[in-house]
Amino acid sequence: MAEKYKLSEGSLRVIMKGGQIDNAIMQVLDTKRIASGNTDKERYRLLLSDGKHLFSFAMLTSQINDQIVNGELSDNSIIKIKKYITSVINNVGKAKRVLVILEMETLVRGENTSKIGSPEPLPDDDEPLVENDSKNKQVSSTSSSTLHVVNGNNRSVNDPNVSIQDQLTHPISSLSPYQNKWIIKARVSNKSNVRTWSNSRGEGKLFSMDLIDESGEIRATAFRELVDKFYDLIEIDKVYYISKCQLKIANKQFSNLNNDYEMTFTPDTIVQECHDVVESIPQTRYDFISINKITHIEVNTLIDVIGVCKNVSDLQMFQAKSTGRELKKREVTLVDQSSNSIALTLWGAEAESFDGSSQPVIVIKGARVSEFGGGKTLSTGVSSIMKINPDIPEAHRLRGWFDNEGISKTAVNISARSESGGYQTQWINIKDVQEMGMGQGEKGDYFQVKGTILLYRSEGGIYKACPKEDCKKKVVDQGNGMYRCDKCNREYPNFKYLLLGSANIGDWSGNMWISLFSSEAEKVLEMSSQAVGEAIESDPQALVEIADKAHFKQFVFRCRSKMENYNDETRLKTVALKVEPVNYKECNSHAISRIQELLN
């Protein structure tokens, strides 16, 4: 099998002297984990042979470590190097050339072959094949790899007579806090607004940017006076040489960039725009998660997602419970080739300006996964980047799928609350609500129970609400034919009736009070809110009779219980999110399985 592949003899010498070799075929004679204090930042060093020479300063970019970890890259493997960078690292004061493999393919696994030829160590005193001959001229390549050629290795980053372009650049993936002499050549793929903060540790302002090169990406942040120095200089999509930043461990909670470190600008930081041809530096890196897989992703994770905007809601406004701030949101339904859909919430200005009417492809880097009522949702935040109809292959493929197939397909909605979408909440008995200590958590507890309406409360069972769709705020009768909604902050000439359901439900084990959404109260009373309101207009006691008809009816109540505060008192509040007729087949099979459990 190995005979099929001939090693690219002599290629190592060419590559390490600045030449370009596409798809070089080499043999990996040995792999070694590089000792590092941080186990998250594993690095592997390879001993490579091109059949003629040996080279031991080869590394894998950490993104492809799994090819070693899963055993695919055992000793003697024959590989094709599809993408690489050569670079220089500072090795105890001496510049040392390394080869960083960005992308490779295993052609023959090690166990199916053996060492080929008698390669000898690559001499490192050769004359360069390519000279870095003119000042201010970086060796650039339009191919997938950029080469940075050594031409005298003792130039210091500190030498003010040397323009930064003359220096050697390092791949972003090689940066670490343990080594501070480096220059990166990176594109700014995202730049935040200037934000201010004020907390117990002080106050100030900052902005951050995402930097990207062929090897990887990293976030950089500038604080206080460095904001004034750099904010206007740095523009999105431009390429810069950057050096002398401080490296620290990245907090994964706030960034999903593929880097264990992040950088902070210092007063010594140097930023210089690069005007060379730089098409080899990518625009943005994505690690898209298919929508059906988001079901299993932990809440609060940041992910990259791509989807067609199948539906979009109106702009909604309300006040934040905690801060009282006016919030604006818009909900977008994204669908992808998995034929699953998810709700994405946009906030603030992004929500306001969003136009989804043409069903565009939406790409989000760093969307936050949340949970609502048992379903998963996404939302954008300060560090997410949203792109509409970006010119990337994934977007074109998705467009094609949607226009031909997706548009007429029903998608599984993974944001569906527990009552639909195949997500089953737990069946319980009423006594369990107390006994299991429901509702202690932040999000509350969800369950379903089969119960009988013992008492439907008619007092205060209906109110005049804001006529605006989706607004359920009680209006204040102005006495002049106008009704004021404090939530919308305006007066309307009309209102709508809404039921405010409250009922005591019981089963064999006990009873409890629940409140019901108006839509669900309508199901229990078998009347619309509007009809009940009109009945009350002619007879104030009408709801007593209407409620009486609901007594002793049986339903399945899908509920959420949560501890809530009422004037210094904490009480458990249970809301029936959904009321459904009893499905006897389902209830009985549940009862049978419970009996089986008890027998065992």
Q: Closer CB to DNA, residue 327 or residue 531?
A: 327
We find the least distance from the C-beta atom of residue 27 to DNA, in angstroms, to be 42
Q: How far is the CB of 316 from DNA (least distance, A)?
A: 6
# of chain residues touching DNA (CB under 7 A): 38
CB of 484 to DNA, least distance (A): 20
Q: Which pair of structure tokens corresponds to residue 591?
A: 């009862």
Interface with DNA, residue 194, by CB under 7 A = no
Give the type of residue at 501: G
Q: Of 37-45, 55-63, 93-101, 312-320, which segment contacts DNA by CB under 7 A?
A: 312-320
Q: With respect to DNA, which residue has the nearer C-beta, 145 or 345? A: 345
Cα separation of 213 and 71, whole Å? 28
Asked whether 494 and 591 are in contact (CB, 8 A), the reply is: no
Q: Is position 316 an interface residue for DNA (rule: CB under 7 A)? A: yes
Looking at beta carbons only, is 252 or 396 nearer to DNA? 252
Q: Which residue lies nearer to DNA by CB, 264 or 338?
A: 264
Cβ atoms of 303 and 289 within 8 Å: the answer is yes
* Residue 366 CB, nearest approach to DNA (Å): 9
Task: Evaluate whether 119 touches 52 at the Cβ level (below 8 Å).
Answer: yes
Q: Burial, 446: exposed, middle or buried (Cβ in 10 Å; 0-12, 13-18, 19+)?
A: buried
Residue 395 CB-half CA count within 13 A? 16
Q: Does 208 bind DNA (CB under 7 A)?
A: yes
Tally Cβ neighbours within 10 Å of residue 357. Answer: 8
State the CB neighbour count (10 A cutoff) for residue 326: 11
Contact segment (CB under 7 A) with DNA among 13-21, 138-146, 343-351, 539-547 equals 343-351
- Cβ(124)–Cβ(99) below 8 Å: no
- Establish if 377 lies at the interface with DNA (CB under 7 A): yes
Q: How far is the CB of 226 from DNA (least distance, A)?
A: 7
Which 457-516 residues touch DNA, going by CB under 7 A?
A: none
Binding span for DNA by CB under 7 A among 375-383, 406-414, 430-438, 542-550: 375-383
Fill in the per-residue mask, 227 to 266: x = in contact with DNA (CB under 7 A), - = not in contact: ---------------------x-xx--xx------x-x--
d(CA 600, CA 41): 50
Residue 179 burial (CB count, 10 A): 13
Q: How far apart are CA 211 and CA 217, in angstroms?
A: 5
Instruction: Decide if residue 379 touches DNA (CB under 7 A).
Output: yes
Query: Which residues are 70's β-sheet partners?
Result: none
List the one residue from 204, 390, 467, 506 that touches DNA (CB under 7 A): 204
Cβ 147 to DNA shortest distance, Å: 32
Entry field: residues in the chain = 600
Residue 224 lies near DNA (rule: CB under 7 A): yes
Would you say 11 or 574 has its CB closer to DNA? Answer: 574
Of 424, 473, 480, 478, the C-alpha closest to 448 is 424
Nearer to DNA, 270 or 587 (CB): 270
**201 makes contact with DNA (CB under 7 A):** yes
Task: Give least dist CB 303 to DNA, A.
Answer: 14
Distance CA 73, CA 595 (A): 54
Q: Up-side HSE of residue 590: CA atoms within 13 Å toward CB?
A: 16
Q: Which is nearer to DNA, 280 or 301 (CB)?
A: 301
Closest distance of CB 308 from DNA, Å: 21
Interaction of residue 329 with DNA, rule CB under 7 A = yes
In the complex, minimum distance from the CB of residue 370 to DNA, in angstroms, rounded to a whole number: 5
Q: Other C-beta atoms within 10 Å of 434: how many?
A: 13
Our CB check for DNA shows the closer of 142 and 199 to be: 199
Site for DNA contains 323 (CB under 7 A): yes
Backbone dihedral region of 11: left (phi > 0), alpha (psi from -120 to 50 degrees) or beta?
Answer: alpha
Q: Which amino acid is at 160?
A: P
Residue 382 binds DNA (CB under 7 A) = yes
Among 280, 266, 179, 285, smallest CA distance to 220 is for 266
Q: Binding to DNA by residue 370, rule CB under 7 A?
A: yes
Q: Does 538 bind DNA (CB under 7 A)?
A: no
Q: Among residues 161, 167, 158, which one has the least CA distance to residue 139?
A: 167
From the list 70, 118, 161, 322, which residue makes contact with DNA (rule: CB under 7 A)? 322
Single out the residue of 554, 574, 552 nearest to residue 563, CA to CA: 574
Site stretch for DNA (CB under 7 A), options 70-78, 91-99, 377-385, 525-533: 377-385
Nearer to DNA, 118 or 251 (CB): 251
**320 counts as binding DNA under rule CB under 7 A:** yes
Minimum CB distance to DNA, residue 197 (Å): 4
For residue 519, the minimal CB distance to DNA (Å) is 11
Q: What is the DSSP string of 292-318?
A: HHHTTSPTT-EEEEEEEEEEEPPPEEE
Query: Taking the complex as a whole, how short is the minimal distance between the CB of residue 398 and DNA, in angstroms?
Result: 24
4 near DNA, rule: CB under 7 A: no
Distance CA 40, CA 96 (A): 25
Q: How far is the CB of 577 from DNA (least distance, A)?
A: 9
Q: How many helices (H) and strands (E) does the chain have?
A: 11, 31
Whole-number Cα distances in Å, 130 to 149, 165, 355: 8, 17, 52
* Residue choice 347, 401, 423, 513 for contact with DNA (CB under 7 A): 347
Report the alpha-carbon distance of residue 535 to residue 373 in Å, rounded: 34
Give residues in contact with DNA (CB under 7 A). 195, 197, 199, 201-202, 204, 206, 208, 221, 223-224, 248, 250-251, 254-255, 262, 264, 316, 318, 320-323, 325, 327, 329, 345, 347-348, 368, 370, 372, 377, 379, 381-383
